[in-house]
């Protein structure tokens, strides 16, 4: 499981406690704004102490390329590098060095080959979630056209698992550490049920650096 965070993090304490109870490891990719937010400092400290992976998600959560024309960049290489550097600067204030967090999850999980090349040139490895479920829609609100309920998200995960020969083996399941007040149907409250289901299927939960090294 991979969690991202930028503006909201209201589910962090619940997720942290659940992972501890379930003895499950996860990865958290936060923006510089998230790392600088004093409200989230205790959570970040606990996540580090528990041994979870903490990585970068850009500093200001920039949109790198056009939604409809993906090869059209909306940032320059300079803007990208400076923004990413600011993200890692914010991380160092929590004792997270860049050599401890080489995996980078781009904001909006949206990028193109130029962004991938820039990331590599910075000495990092760009990653993304595994497609096939709608887990990444757990931030949507009823006012959004792409709103997905927690029940529908849950079903998309279990349906994928049961409908594919490899199931969720090696899967990067992306979720959000918070969705804000606009969404009352918080998917993280479904995580105990989901983790129980996946454990009965024989799955283990690993940090992203452990998962990808094994692949």
- For the chain, what is the domain count? 1
Identify whether the C-beta of residue 161 lies closer than 8 Å to the C-beta of residue 167.
Answer: yes
**Rounded Cα distance, 148 and 139, in Å:** 9
Q: Which CATH number characterizes residue 43's domain?
A: 3.20.20.370
**Rounded Cα distance, 161 and 179, in Å:** 25
What is the domain extent for residue 111?
A: 2-214
Query: Percentage helix, strand, coil, to 5, in the chain?
Result: 45, 10, 45
Can you give the pLDDT at residue 215?
A: 40
- At residue 203, φ and ψ (nearest 5 deg) are -85, 150
Low-confidence residues of the chain: pLDDT under 70: 214-215
Q: For residue range 112-166, list pLDDT tens digits in order.
A: 999 999 999 999 999 999 999 999 999 999 999 999 999 999 999 999 999 999 9
**Apex 122 CA angle, 121 and 128, nearest 5:** 90
Instruction: Specify whether the backbone of 140 is left (phi greater than 0), alpha (psi in -120 to 50) or beta.
Output: beta
Identify whether the C-beta of residue 141 lies closer than 8 Å to the C-beta of residue 183.
Answer: yes
Identify whether the C-beta of residue 53 lies closer than 8 Å to the C-beta of residue 77.
Answer: no
Joined together, the tokens standing for residue 141 give: 């609100």
For 206, half-sphere exposure in the C-beta direction (CA atoms, 13 angstrom radius) is 15
pTM: 0.96
**Paired strand residues for 114:** none
């Amino acid at each position: 499981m991979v969690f991202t965070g930028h503006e909201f993090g209201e589910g962090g304490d619940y997720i942290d406690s659940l992972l501890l109870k379930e003895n499950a490891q996860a990865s958290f990719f936060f923006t510089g704004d998230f790392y600088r937010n004093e409200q989230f400092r205790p959570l970040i400290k606990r996540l580090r102490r528990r041994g979870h992976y903490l990585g970068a998600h850009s500093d200001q959560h920039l949109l790198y390329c056009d939604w409809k024309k993906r090869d059209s960049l909306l940032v320059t290489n300079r803007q990208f590098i400076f923004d990413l550097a600011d993200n890692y600067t914010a991380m160092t204030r929590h004792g997270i060095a860049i050599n401890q967090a080489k995996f980078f999850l781009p904001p909006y999980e949206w990028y193109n080959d130029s962004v991938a090349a820039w990331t590599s040139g910075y000495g990092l490895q760009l990653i993304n979630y595994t497609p096939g479920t709608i887990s990444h829609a757990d931030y949507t609100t009823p006012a959004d056209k792409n709103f997905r309920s927690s029940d529908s998200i849950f079903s998309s995960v279990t349906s994928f698992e049961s409908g594919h020969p490899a199931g969720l083996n090696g899967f990067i399941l992306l979720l959000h550490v918070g969705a804000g007040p606009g969404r009352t149907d918080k998917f993280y409250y479904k995580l105990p049920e989901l983790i129980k289901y996946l454990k009965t299927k024989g799955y283990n939960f690993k940090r992203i650096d452990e998962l990808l090294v094994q692949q």
